[in-house]
Amino acid sequence: MWEQIRANQIRSAFVMIFMGLLLIAVGFVIGLYFLGTAAGGIVIALIVWGILNLVALFQGDNILLSLGKARKVNKEEFPRLYNIVEEMTIASGLPRMPDVYIIDDPAPNAFATGRKPEKAAIAVTSGLLQKLNRDELQGVVAHELGHIKNRDTLLMAIGGILLGTIVLLSYFASRMLFFGGASRGGRRSGGGSGGGGAQLIIIIIGIVLMILAPIAARLLYFALSRKREYLADASAALYTRYPEGLASALEKIAGTPTQLQAANNATAPMYIVNPFRKAGQAASNLSSTHPPISDRVRVLRSMGGASFADYDAAYRNVRGSRGGVVPRGALGLTGDAPVRPPSTETEPVTQTEAARAREVSDALWKTNKYQTVECECGAKLRVPPGTSLSQVKCPRCGTTHPV
């Protein structure tokens, strides 16, 4: 049923075609410069692409998991996580429960991988397990399973290989152009007396293409990734019937300043939250792999129910865009999906570093006999002892409080 999502991703297909064209263009230029024939270059580009594809086909998932330093776990070690993955497998209707991996890292994050739902895996960091309660963890796992169900893992794998090929080819080609360009076929065949000016222009265009192609490919890849994050959020809301779980998980993850150690540029788009995000950054630019967390949270929080249609409406509302994010074919696939009540399982009692620091500073102010006024906006105002003021104004929201 939800497979229809795939069929409707015209935009994603467009991006893929564009990346493919970019690869052919790179091959074209390489052929022109080093072989004297454009077709030869294109063939080389396709061969390199084919080899990378084969490598990925045979052990793509293993590479990604080992790059992320993940280890496989069973039910005895992590019963709660395992159960939650099982629950979400049932809710999403996946044919097989994905393998569960743990990454020993205090930074909370998660990712999913696998070309087919039958061979999928999901990895979460130990930091995520510590910081999130059951509903939040469920939201994150549902988001990752949404990626698997919507075939994003496959799409990102194909896109990643295209990107890798383009980066690899233009890297070596530009090295050779700068340092060993003497063997250029183009010069040998066409380099007589005349046409020097035209050739120079071609060379310059070639160099510019070699520099721009990997950047353009990366931007396309990231654009692909951003759109897919919203769709996975919509799936998570539908599976859990509880958008607030994912929303508050995203907030918790965003509020943690630690960065993931084992992430790199190639694997970044796979995580639930961009692992290279700097604390407090809400950049919504072309070079980010993920949409801004604040937007994702706002969309989730303004949902009326938990169905795809509810997410789509909330997305249009928050983003002020006419185009939705859920493909039209998928909107009518579920009936009304009322939001369920939260699970009453207690919060994990582990205290974050920030909370501990706040407690210490509270105690220090108190020993110095400062009066503390708590404002509705969350700010704490410290009033020195023996003040002559009868009221203070909150510097953040502007309300006045009696002392």
Partner 1 sequence: MDLWIWIVIGVVVILAISFISTYNGLVRARNQVKNAWAQIDVQLKRRYDLVPNLVETVKGYARHERETFEMVTKARNLAQQLTSAGAGERGRVESELSSALGRLLAVAENYPELKANQNFLALQEELTSTENKISFARQYYNDAVLRLNNRTQEFPSNIVASMTGFKAAEYFETTLEAERQAPRVSF
Which spans of this chain sit near partner 1 (rule: CB under 8 A)? 1, 79-80, 83-84, 86-88, 90-93, 134, 239, 241, 333-335, 340-341, 343-346
* CB 228, min distance to partner 1, A: 22
Nearer to partner 1, 134 or 296 (CB): 134
For residue 366 the two structure tokens come to: 């108190």
Closer CB to partner 1, 224 or 337, in the complex: 337
CA distance 299 to 143: 14
Task: List, in order, residues 6 or more apart from 198 with CB less than 8 Å away.
Answer: none
- Least distance to partner 1 from the beta carbon of 180, Å? 59
Residue linked to tokens 């990102």: 156
Question: What dihedral do alpha carbons 171, 173, 175, 179 form, nearest 10°?
Answer: 180
- Separation between Cα atoms, residue 69 and residue 128, nearest integer Å: 15
State in angstroms the smallest separation of the CB of 93 from partner 1: 5
Which one, 139 or 292, has the nearer CB to partner 1?
A: 139
Compute the distance between CA of residue 268 and CA of residue 289 in angstroms, rounded to an integer.
7
Sequence length of the chain is 403
Nearer to partner 1 (CB atom), residue 93 or residue 257 = 93
Q: Which is nearer to partner 1, 32 or 236 (CB)?
A: 236
Least Å from the CB of residue 85 to partner 1 = 10
- 3-state SS of 362-385 is HHHHHHCCCEEEECCCCCEEEECC
53 vs 273: CA distance, rounded Å? 26
* Nearest distance, CB of residue 380 and partner 1, angstroms: 33
C-beta of 347 vs 374, nearer to partner 1 = 347
**HSE-CB for 276 with a 13 A CA cutoff:** 13
Residue with tokens 């052919």: 24
Q: Which of 136, 144, 229, 244 is catalytic?
A: 144
User: Is the distance from CB of 268 to CB of 289 less than 8 angstroms?
Assistant: yes
Q: How far is the CB of 316 from partner 1 (least distance, A)?
A: 23
Residue 103's SS3 state is strand
Give CA separation, 201 vs 182, 197, 206, 210, in Å.
17, 6, 8, 14
Q: How far apart are CA 170 and CA 180, in angstroms?
A: 14
Q: Is 144 a catalytic residue?
A: yes
Active centre residues (catalytic): 144
